[in-house]
Homo-oligomer: A and B are copies of this chain.
Amino acid sequence: MHIRSLRESDIEPLCAMMNEIASRGEAFVYDAPFTPREMEAYLAGFPAQFVAEVDGRIVGGYVLRPNLPGRGAHIANAAYMVAGSARGLGVGRRLGEHSLVEAKLRGFTALQFNAVVASNAPAVTLWKRLGFQIIGTVPRGFHHADGQFHDLHIMHRSL
């Protein structure tokens, strides 16, 4: 597995991956499919964009940005995705580790996630293993595909 900077030709496969994950309604807040053009606009909101590649195939990716502007811009925020077909291969872990190094290289002092679905145990477990702490929980912040409202964790790790 190789992690490299995003290229324009990655947008379509990433868009398909995004829509596949969003359609499950378990982890991402987006509830309508992105067109490749909307995906490009979404990605453009993040100054750092990486993909994970195996044998020329995109199996995941992440994007990184300041969590807040100005006086809050020293803390990073990131979003990750892993293709359903590549689950269990450690792609998320590799992307997470890469993002921690990348965020530190860029001068961020911490990495923060604002909306980790509390019932998404693989994600919560991964982030805890990588040193993140749950610093807050939004009660019933996520309208899950099961029809229930699940809690959202805010997770944070100093760099």
Contacts and interface: CB of A to CB of B under 8 A. Distances in A.
Dominant SS at the A interface? strand
A68 interface: yes
A93 interface: no
Interface residues of A, number: 35
Interface string A134-153: 01111111111000010010
B141 A75 contact: yes
A72 B135 contact: no
Contact of A71 (B31, B74, B110, B154): B31
B137 A72 contact: no
A126 B143 CA distance: 29
A77 B155 CA distance: 19
